[in-house]
Structure 1
């Protein structure tokens, strides 16, 4: 992280880059000595590693009061931005009280959806309307480019996020590796932390299924250690048993969606949590007691996928990021 900061750090002055428009020094006019530049830098990664809980000053001074934002807002996200910016797009949209706020979520690499003609037109229309007073903005509050399994998109306007007509559905893990809306008897299944986890799948879908929005996994977990990182990955298999993947912001074979939680951070904020969206306080460590079960509610980031009849929905539960098999 330091190399990225050092290239544009304030105080580089005449040794820094020059702006193409105004011809000014991008890092300010002042030229500081190398030792002073080093003293002025902070190693952000080191700060994170040294401060695990949210009440640390390193996080407190970076928190933003979204309730104070009242100007028009256009938030453009990417379904393929899992583990990057997508959560900020949706959470920010929900929290901002502005009466004129718009959410757009696309797919593919972010630069494809956001910086080429499609994204440029969206941004230009918004800025021309709100900054120049032009009559260029006649869009719904929410526009989603829903993902199809063949890599195409279905464009759809919506009036809100989360979608009011969502039918929240519980799927239950089955001892035989199934995934069903029918409740199951209690059972245990184990896996090695350095393995590929455990998988559960529905049978071939009898009708098309659309998943648009967030999800969550409610698990009882025990470990031989005092902590564990649980990762939940949604999967879709085609009729031949191949994983469906999508070109994503940082992966040509991006997964449907993932969520993760460190067991010691499992404490819930009960005032904000919902069955489909757990919130964690991150203000107290709760280590596992080896061999004892603990409730973990894992947030799975928002996603979009239209699953055709005959395909299968699945979930992988493991420790650490699980890589899906690639098509050959």
Structure 2
């Protein structure tokens, strides 16, 4: 799953001889489950799908899935946005001209925002009823910095951070999810060492110091998508977890450097995305006529929100609303 970056075309490609497919577009199965065996640990949108089926919806008819290559940022997902628009229009047409509710999680939030900002207001008024965002990473996350430093085991005992990092840092989407300058000050310390501190202002030096300059190039390719933060022009329900320890800064003790293992200084968030980023949707409240509903859920973590009973109840009330 590693990607190879080309700094002339400013795009990535798979390793030689490797072809990857994104299965199940338009169907629910591959967004309900991260694992085709349907083991409980691989559950993703399954609780929400089960809820909607209990309310009378039908998989693959009134419920559709729109998976994408999560390794890539909007600049390399152009065909996906074309396909998504077509899927929404087809779903609208085949369901008695009912406007569509989009449900997005994590990076799906900013992906949905970019998609909606590509459409005319007339199109959105016709085809979109609302956007439900669950733990949207609107302003990125310090956890992306942590992944560049030491990788992430995705909460699995079977995976090693250091091995996962080899693949993870090649993803342009990781650069896109670095802390946004809209929500972090340029001089705010993200990585602290006794030799030098790193912030957004000198992040280029950080990438060179960890011997991964391609990361800086991918950040340059994707930063404009962080800064394009126009309101989506649709009703938004912004649900997010709070009061879960979330990394805010990496601290390397004196005498160690970036090849060591940092301590993680924690703050408020959902365990993955920092609170200031989760609350990014509040920015649009005074910039669009469509309503923005904001609802925090204390002690609900990044993945837990997908099956939390209060979140499911909120979605249930919303979809049954006239």
Please state which band the TM-score falls in when normalised by the shorter chain. Answer: under 0.3
Larger radius of gyration: 1
Q: TM-score, normalised by structure 1?
A: 0.22
Which one has a larger percent strand, Structure 1 or Structure 2?
Answer: 1
Q: TM-score, normalised by structure 2?
A: 0.22
